[in-house]
Amino acid sequence: MFTRALVAQLAERLEEPRKFIQIVTGPRQTGKTTAVIQALKRLEAPQHFVSADDPNLVSAEWLRNEWEQARSLAKTGDAILVVDEIQKINKWSSIVKLLWDEDSRINVPLKVVLTGSSSLLLQKGLTESLMGRYEILYSPHWSYAECKAAFGYSLDDFLFFGGYPGAAALIRDENRWARYMGASIVEPTISQDILMMEEVRKPALLRSLFVLGSQYSAQELSYTKLLGQLQDAGNTVTLAHYLELLTRANILTGLQNYSGNQIRARKSSPRFMVYDTSLMTYADGSGRRRLLENPAERGRLVESAVGAYLLARGKEEGFEVYWWRERNHEVGFVIKKGNSLTALEVKSGRVKNAGGSLQFKKLYPETLSLVIGSANLGLEDFLLGKKPLFL
């Protein structure tokens, strides 16, 4: 079985003295639970693994009882408690805070790992109750390097089918693969990770925004134009809010136009970007041949693959992802970490105005410029992580 880097990271943290709750979070179906189980197999400490996957069977009392069982394992030394899908327990963060602080006061050597969807964990529980008590380990969509090593993907396989490991066995049957994407990833993400956790007055509008935004991945589209294309139109504030919910669920986001003035950046029209190219191909509904052999469509797939790769690394490495356009000059992606800037142009087959990086560098002279798809930096090498992103 393939082992992601996340496994070693988690195992190392659980071998350290008890200090923080370990939060393993990320998109659905990216192998969070599998990674935790693999990490536990590397450790000798007693372990108690429970899942809150059935919300009808779990409660605050259930969690306290499971925690007490784990405490009994820690009477003679370190022990580990894992609660999978923690977000399905009502007011889970308050309960965890109470039990964790109790253990801290009386020196119970119980180490705790929680897994769940990032949209709820990051927005609500962690910020409300657990400040200063946790570390996050992010489980992103699988990269091209991982899919190539684990499943033997070609570059074209990865561009079309993306980085969901559970779907890898289905790629020889596109219709079956599409049904899996809808039933196991897209619909559960929207109905369970968003609609069950947030107040959404127009669920149909949110779903339509996901489909249209995914179809327009790697393109700029103003909210005003969006309203003209969506059947259940709301207003621009509603659309911006729904896009933020899709962003928290790690399926679709809107990149902002980079500006030294961040207020101006936030007011710009978003450039839609899927977190995985499979979401774009699923929403489009066209076959592999049409999307990969049509230069314009392939170009958007390539740019979306680059964008998804940057979004995943940005979450893990702490940098922000933008794009940039001023008049006729455009840069596909701008990434910022501290005071470091990198402008990335993508030679993807789409017709664009040239010279964007040169113009951007005039405005921001310390910028590193990369051209993906050039003789010096091929797309495959870039997606395999062979080029540093910053100076």
- 331 φ, ψ (degrees, to nearest 5): -125, 130
Whole-number Å distance between alpha carbons of 104 and 92:
18
Residues 189 and 231 both lie in one domain? yes
Whole-number Å distance between alpha carbons of 304 and 307:
5
Would residue 56 count as lying in a domain? yes
> What tokens does 303 get?
């740019």
CA-only gyration radius of the chain, Å: 22
Residues 110 and 155 both lie in one domain? no
Handedness of CA 376, 346, 298, 386 (dihedral sign): positive
> What was the pLDDT predicted at 122?
56
Would residue 390 count as lying in a domain? no
Q: What is the pTM of this model?
A: 0.92
> What was the pLDDT predicted at 129?
78
Helix (H) or strand (E) holding 2, with range, is: none
Whole-number Å distance between alpha carbons of 324 and 339:
17
> What was the pLDDT predicted at 231?
62
Provide the domain limits for residue 167. Answer: 144-383
- 76 φ, ψ (degrees, to nearest 5): -110, 5
The whole-number mean pLDDT for each consecutive block of 10 residues of the chain, a chain of 391 residues, reads 96 97 94 97 97 81 96 96 90 92 97 81 67 92 98 98 97 97 96 84 92 94 77 77 92 93 64 98 94 94 98 95 92 96 87 76 94 94 96 88
Q: Which amino acid is at 295?
A: P
Residues 56 and 187 both lie in one domain? no
> What tokens does 292 get?
């990969």
> What was the pLDDT predicted at 19?
96
Between CA 167 and CA 263, with CA 318 as vertex, the angle to 5 degrees is 110
Domain boundary among 110, 138, 166: 138
Would residue 348 count as lying in a domain? yes
> Residue 105 belongs to a domain with what CATH number?
3.40.50.300
Would residue 300 count as lying in a domain? yes
Handedness of CA 79, 84, 89, 93 (dihedral sign): positive
